[in-house]
């Protein structure tokens, strides 16, 4: 389905872009493909102090959920830390992760084209992207079920909208469907060197219309954003949407990504630098992890701790559980 929509009010400016994007280190650049130096994730992450505060709040809410109580205000920050930190106080009961594929997430596809009808991805690319997404999450509880067809919207301002822009807000408020547990994917051409960005589960209550992920059409399978054209940008951003941080969140100190079995990582890795150990007191960087910045051909896994973390986050903030 294609709709011609009115021009959005504004396009993203540099001042509107998140200021917490992780930049490449010199050593990472040495391992990078030329295209990898500037294509980054635009998901806004909190600083260490805010992440620790939100982690404590999250652990409190999770405990309430597991004890069968209605959480008081299940929302509020712009992302919960995902890394190995504790929240203080009594820990929630032990988590039992549901079986693979037992949580079905209704998924809506919104392809944003120019006002002249030039689109960032074909139907076949979108369909293959859903297959890549489900393959990446096949060992997790999540299965992504596309709802309806592939909807296309002709609007040049939305086509180039960046994170935090008025155009993004208008696009999402006009198009988003479903509730807190439903995934909206916006396929566009944002520019600015961004492969995509996402919202965290904890952000839903305060900004439900903003919920979802935005991905560069050229990053879908068969796109031209080599070496990021295997579909793993969508996997990475869905990881954020389920509550995961980058593996390099917090660098070598502090709570990191609040996942105990992901080694601390000083800064984003690029290319596929196997054997890199950026934090001396930690095991080698997991350059194969979907939540780093390595090439699509390099990343292929989530850790067990990340799967548990995603389930706890999505249970608490998105009310997602096994059917």
For the annotated catalytic residues, the residue numbers are 237
Mark residue 222 as left, alpha or beta (left: phi above 0; alpha: psi -120 to 50; beta: remaining): left
CA atoms of 158 and 150, how far apart (whole Å): 17
- Phi/psi class of residue 243: alpha, beta or left (left: φ > 0; alpha: ψ in -120 to 50)? left
Angle between helices 232-241 and 123-136 (to 10 degrees): 60
Radius of gyration of the chain (CA): 19
Taking a C-beta distance cutoff of 8 angstroms, is the pair 295, 227 a contact?
yes
What whole-number distance in Å separates Cα of residue 268 and Cα of residue 292?
A: 6
Q: What is the C-alpha to C-alpha distance for residues 129 and 56, in angstroms, rounded to an integer?
A: 35
- Round to whole Å and give the CA distance between 77 and 49: 12
Q: Which helix (H) or strand (E) holds 319?
A: none
For 110, the 3-state DSSP assignment is strand
Q: What ranges in the chain are assigned the alpha helix state H?
A: 26-30, 48-66, 123-136, 156-159, 166-175, 232-241, 304-318
Return the exposure string of 240-273: e unless at least 16 CB atoms fall within 10 Å of the residue's CB, then b: bbbbbbbbbbbebebbbbbbeebbbbbbbbbbbb
C-alpha span between 262 and 85 (Å, rounded): 12
On whether the CB atoms of residues 80 and 203 are closer than 8 A, the answer is no
């Amino acid at each position: 389905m294609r709709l011609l929509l009115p021009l959005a009010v504004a396009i993203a400016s540099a001042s509107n872009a998140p200021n917490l994007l992780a930049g490449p280190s010199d050593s990472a650049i040495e391992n990078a493909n030329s295209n990898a130096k500037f294509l980054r994730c635009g998901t806004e992450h909190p600083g260490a102090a805010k992440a620790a505060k939100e982690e404590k709040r999250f652990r409190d809410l999770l405990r309430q959920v597991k004890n069968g109580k209605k959480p008081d205000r299940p929302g509020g920050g712009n992302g919960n830390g995902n890394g190995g930190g504790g929240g203080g106080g009594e820990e929630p009961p032990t988590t039992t992760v549901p079986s693979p594929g037992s949580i079905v997430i209704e998924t809506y596809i919104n392809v944003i084209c120019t006002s002249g009808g030039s689109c960032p991805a074909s139907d076949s690319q979108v369909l293959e992207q859903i297959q890549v997404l489900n393959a990446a999450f096949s060992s997790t509880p999540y299965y992504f079920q596309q709802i309806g067809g592939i909807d296309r919207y002709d609007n040049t301002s939305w086509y180039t909208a960046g994170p935090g822009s008025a155009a993004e807000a208008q696009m999402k408020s006009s198009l988003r469907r479903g509730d807190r547990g439903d995934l909206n994917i916006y396929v566009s051409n944002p520019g600015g060197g961004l492969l995509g960005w996402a919202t965290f589960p904890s952000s839903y209550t305060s900004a439900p219309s903003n919920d979802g992920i935005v991905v560069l059409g050229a990053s879908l399978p068969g796109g031209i954003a080599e070496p990021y054209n295997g579909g793993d940008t969508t996997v990475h951003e869905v990881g954020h949407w389920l509550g995961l941080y980058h593996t390099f969140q917090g660098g070598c100190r502090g709570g990191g990504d609040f996942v105990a079995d992901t080694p601390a990582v000083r800064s984003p890795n690029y290319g596929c630098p196997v054997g890199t150990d950026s934090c001396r007191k930690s095991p080698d960087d997991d350059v194969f992890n979907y939540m780093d910045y390595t090439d699509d051909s390099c990343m292929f896994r989530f850790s067990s701790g990340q799967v548990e973390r995603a389930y706890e986050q999505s249970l608490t903030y998105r009310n997602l559980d096994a059917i």
